[in-house]
Amino acid sequence: MRSLKNLLVTGGAGFIGANFIHYLKKNNFNGKVFNLDSITYAGNLENLKGIEKNFNYEFVKGDIRDKDLLKFLFGKNEIDTVIHFAAESHVDNSISGPKVFLETNVIGTFELLFTAREAWTENSGFKKGVHFHHISTDEVYGSLGETGLFSETTAYDPSSPYSASKAASDHFVNAFHHTYKLPITISNCSNNYGPYQNKEKLIPLMISNAIEGKNLPIYGKGINVRDWLYVEDHCDAIWTILLKGENGRSYNIGGNNEWKNIDIVYKICEVLGSETSKSKSEYEKLINFVTDRAGHDLRYAIDATRIQKELNWFPKESFETGIIKTVKHYLGK
C-alpha cells in the first residue's frame, strides 16, 4: 500500500476535484494537498469554501500548461503524487470550440507528465513512492449498442472532440509508463453526478431549471443511456486506486446504474415533487424535447469487475439514493 504525503490535485476547484478534496478532509488525510486550478467557467472556489480549516491545503491559481509553474511546484513542495482531474469536459463545447480541448486535455497532460518525470527521476530510476494518477472517461470507448459493457480491454473509439482529447491524453499517460517507466494508474469512469457540478451538465441543469420554472431540454427522444456514478463513490474509488492500484494498470469505475435520460428527468421531477411544495406533474410539464446533439453516443455502460475483484471497491449509492442527496444539495437542504 502506498504512503502519500504531498498531493498535487489538478482541477481541484471543479466538480469531481472539489469533491475529492472534501473526501480527503472527511477521511482525515494527514499529508498536504496542493490544488492547481486555472479557474475557468467550470472551476469555482466556492466549492471549497472553508476547506483550509484544520486541513493542510493550499490553492495555486495556474495553468497545467505552464512549464515553469509546474517545475516550481514539484521542486518546492516535494510533490510525490499527482491526481490529474483538470480537463475541459463539456461535449457540446468541444463541438463548437474543439481547440481548447486539445490544448488543455492533451498538451496540459503532456506537460504534467514531462514535469513529473523530470522531478521524480533519481539515479536513472524514479524516487520511491511517487505516482501519477490520471482521471479519464468511459467516452473514450465510443458508443455501445443495447447490450454489452465497456471493459479495460475495449478498443478506444472516441466520437467527439472531447472524447478524442481524453483518449489522446490516456495514450500519453500509458506511453510515459511504457517508455520511461513512470509509475501511473488510469481510471475511466462513467457519468458522475452530485454536489458542486457545473449547471451545464444534464442533472444539475434539469434540477436548477425545474427549481426556476424553466424548460427542461432533452436531446432527441431522451433514450440515450448512461451508467451513473455518485461523485463520492468515484472519489472513494480513486483513493482506493491510489493506495492499492497496480502500477501501469487501468481501472474502470462504474455505478451499476444505467438510466435513460428521459427516465432521469422524470425521477428528478419525482424527487422535487416530494421535497418542495410543487407536485411531480407540475415539474413534468416543463419537459421539452430538442434537436439531438451531433455525434450523440447511444449508450455507455461500465464493467467494473477489475476494480471490484482486485481492489475490493464497490459503489455505496444507488441512483435512487444518490439523486435524493443531489436534489437536496441544490435545494440547499
What does CATH list as the number for 6-193+229-254?
3.40.50.720
Among 196, 252, 197, 200, smallest CA distance to 227 is for 252
Strands of 191-193's sheet, edge to edge? 191-193, 225-230, 258-260
**Region of residue 181 (left: phi > 0; alpha: psi -120 to 50; beta: else):** left
Q: What is the DSSP string of 13-54?
A: TSHHHHHHHHHHHHTT--SEEEEEE---TT--GGGGTTTTTT
Cβ atoms within 10 A of the Cβ of 179, count? Answer: 9
DSSP lists the bridge partners of residue 37 as: 61
- In order along the chain (333 residues), what is the average pLDDT of each group of 10 residues? 94 97 97 97 92 96 98 97 95 92 98 98 92 96 88 96 97 98 97 91 95 96 94 98 98 95 97 97 96 85 96 97 96 90
**What is the distance between the alpha carbons of residues 15 and 137, in angstroms, rounded to a whole number?**
14
Cell of 177: 509508463
User: Rounded to 5 degrees, what angle do the CA atoms 192, 15, 308 make?
Assistant: 40
Amino acid at 139: E
Catalytic site positions: 138-139, 162
Element (H, E) at 227: strand 225-230
Model's pTM, two decimal places?
0.95
DSSP lists the bridge partners of residue 116 as: none
Cβ atoms within 10 A of the Cβ of 128, count? Answer: 10
Cα-only R_g, the chain: 20
Cell of 91: 461535449
Q: What is the pLDDT of residue 200?
A: 82
Among 96, 94, 117, 9, smallest CA distance to 59 is for 9
Query: Structural domain boundaries of the chain?
Result: 6-193+229-254
Among 43, 213, 235, 230, smallest CA distance to 135 is for 235
Contact 7, 21 (CB under 8 A): no
Q: Which residues contact residue 128 at a Cβ distance below 8 angstroms, ignoring those fewer than 6 apart?
A: none
Backbone angles phi, psi at 58, to 5 degrees: -140, 130
Give all strands (DSSP E) within 160-208, no chain letters.
184-189, 191-193
Contact 303, 252 (CB under 8 A): yes
Q: What is the pLDDT of residue 21?
A: 98
Amino acid at 74: F
Matching residue, cell 462504474: 254
